[in-house]
Amino acid sequence: MSLSPVLNEKSARALTQRIRDSAEVLWSLLLKAHDGKAWKALGYGSWAAYVEGEFDMTKQRANQLIRHARFAGQLTEVTGVETTVSTLPEGATRTLTEDQRDEVVERVRSERIPPEQVEVIVRETVAKAQEDRQAIADLNARAPEGFDPRAEDARISVTHRFYEAVQTLAEMPSVDEVKALVPEYQRYRLKALPDALSWLEDFYEEWEVAS
């Protein structure tokens, strides 16, 4: 059996792009088959039986590819560029939760991120998610007996939201500037302001005592 010739950089890059293009087609076709219930049309009892019987693929693996395809589709919708995430390996986006994917899509939409910068945003989000998981894993490894990882996840979720809220307030423009920016018809969105102020004052007093 003859071996394939050793590739130079140009040939290797071209081949790599062809593989990526083929992968993107696979994602989108699997998504189409899933949403179009191809397994029912072919007499399979389930999606799992279909992908295993037709492609020797587990349901878990097929669903991973489908989630990637949906994510790519969402980003394509907000940028208008079909190849937005074609260069992203599915293995990278697989690590993101649904909430993290939604956050990426919303950030791209609200900040009008240029299509060529979307991959950078996704990779940053993936890296941050991996750092968070590693931090939790390290904490669990050092955790004393009786440590509850779910309780720790809940603690991190609450405190991180609090830290971000405090930092956001600290970085706001002057009160007069912000007040001038709030239109009359949106005053209802500040109805919780007295409660928020009272909570902050109570927390500050308790924090000062504890410190």
| Strand, coil or helix: 186 | helix
**Domain identity same for 54 and 139:** yes
Number of independent structural domains in the chain: 2
With cut-offs at 50, 70 and 90, classify the pLDDT of residue 88: low
User: How many Cα neighbours within 13 Å face the side chain of 185?
Assistant: 0
Compute the average pLDDT of residues 110-114.
85
Q: Residues 165, 183: one domain? A: no
Whether residue 29 is predicted with pLDDT greater than 90 in this model: the reply is no
Q: Are residues 97 and 16 in the same domain?
A: yes
Domain that holds residue 46: 10-171
Please report the DSSP string for 74-133 in residue order.
Answer: HHHHHH--TTTTTTS-HHHHTTS-HHHHHHHHHHHHHTT--HHHHHHHHHHHHHHHHHHH
In this structure, what DSSP letter does residue 26 have?
A: H
Range in 6-15, 55-64, 66-75, 92-101 with the lowest mean pLDDT: 6-15
Which residues make Cβ contacts (< 8 Å) with residue 108, sequence separation at least 6?
Answer: 75, 78, 79, 118, 121
- Based on the fold, state whether residues 189 and 134 are members of the same structural domain: no
Query: In one letter, which amino acid is 203?
Result: F
Mean pLDDT of 124-146: 78
User: What is the average pLDDT score of the chain?
Assistant: 83
Q: Is residue 4 part of a domain?
A: no
Q: Does 125 map to a domain?
A: yes
**Residues 41, 80: one domain?**
yes
Contact 84, 113 (CB under 8 A): no
Q: What is the pLDDT of residue 28?
A: 81
Q: Does residue 193 share a domain with residue 165?
A: no
Q: In the predicted model, what is the mean pLDDT of residues 161-182? A: 91
pLDDT at 85 over 60: no
Q: Cα(211)–Cα(203) distance, rounded to whole angstroms?
A: 12
What per-residue confidence (pLDDT) applies to 1?
45
What pLDDT score does 187 carry? 87
Same domain, yes or no, for 41 and 118? Answer: yes
